[in-house]
Chain A
Amino acid sequence: MRLVLRLAMIVVGAWPVRGFACTMCHSPQAVSVRARLLQPDLWFNLCATLLPLLLLAWMIGMVATPSTSRSHAR
């Protein structure tokens, strides 16, 4: 009986009903936001957003790695 109840909850939970909590999912504004995000500059924007963080992560890696390990790796 508990197994049937659990299965029923999974089926109900996975049922493709509209997400009432998501105010942005199906509104005209959401369509506009997605359209602006998915323009051809998407990859530029993504790379530009992450570039400083990647550079900083590389600096941390350089400090964390002892100089002897770096020269052995060459």
Chain B
Amino acid sequence: MNDRARPLLSAGLALGIGMGGFVDGILFHQILQLHNMLSARVPNTDYVGAKVNMVWDGFFHAGVWGITAAGILLLWRAGRTADASLSGRLLGSSLLMGWGLFNLVEGVIDHHLLQLHHVYEPVGLSIWDYLFLLWGAGMLLFGWALARSETAR
């Protein structure tokens, strides 16, 4: 990997992971209420279960907030590094890769291996969980192809 690209690439990855995590938490957990952090282990169908899941959603959001904060720091560092690439295309591609990585890692560990929750909880592990992975893989590959074309210039 081109060392000039590392500072911006790592910042974009962190911010992309943050974007993916917040979209998952805000859109799927809170607005659409398709699942919660531990909804396959602690059913969220009664008041206490919903409250317990809300606590674990909070821990998840706190972790995502930490990664996003690290992304801001990395972006600041990239801006101050003398020979670091500051290409907008590289930033965009790394954001895509970060978001895709989030879907893949979170999807494989939480949905498939540990079975903490599933995309559409009422039906458990379903086609939606595989589509979530496919969505992540698509973003990762597209971002990777964009980054490669940029660093090859």
The answer on a CB contact under 8 Å between B38 and A45 is yes
Does A51 belong to the interface (CB within 8 Å)? Answer: yes
Report the minimum CB–CB distance from A44 to chain B (whole Å): 9
Task: Using A45-B38, A49-B38, A51-B109 as known contacts, say yes or no to A60 and B52 having CB atoms under 8 A apart.
Answer: no
**Interface size range of chain B in the complex:** 35 or more
Does A56 belong to the interface (CB within 8 Å)? Answer: yes
Residues of B contacting A41 in the complex (Cβ-Cβ under 8 angstroms): 41
Name which residue of chain B comes closest to A53, CB basis: B63
Question: Per a CB cutoff under 8 Å, which of A24, A56, A65, A66 touches B105?
Answer: A56
Give complex CA distance A56, B71 in Å: 12
- Interfacial residues of chain B within 67-90, with CB under 8 A of chain A in the complex: 67, 70-71, 74
The answer on a CB contact under 8 Å between B110 and A29 is no
Does B9 belong to the interface (CB within 8 Å)? Answer: yes
Task: Using A56-B102, A60-B10, A63-B13 as known contacts, say yes or no to A37 and B3 having CB atoms under 8 A apart.
Answer: no
The answer on a CB contact under 8 Å between A60 and B14 is yes
Question: Per a CB cutoff under 8 Å, which of B37, B70, B110 touches A57?
Answer: B70
Name which residue of chain B comes closest to A24, CB basis: B51
Give complex CA distance A45, B60 in Å: 11
Chain A window 38-61, contacts with chain B (Cβ cutoff 8 Å), 1 for yes, 0 for no: 000100011011111101110111
Report the minimum CB–CB distance from A38 to chain B (whole Å): 10
Residues of A contacting B38 in the complex (Cβ-Cβ under 8 angstroms): 45, 48-49
Chain B window 129-141, contacts with chain A (Cβ cutoff 8 Å), 1 for yes, 0 for no: 0000000000000
Name which residue of chain A comes closest to B48, CB basis: A32
Task: Using A29-B48, A53-B64 as known contacts, say yes or no to A66 and B6 having CB atoms under 8 A apart.
Answer: yes
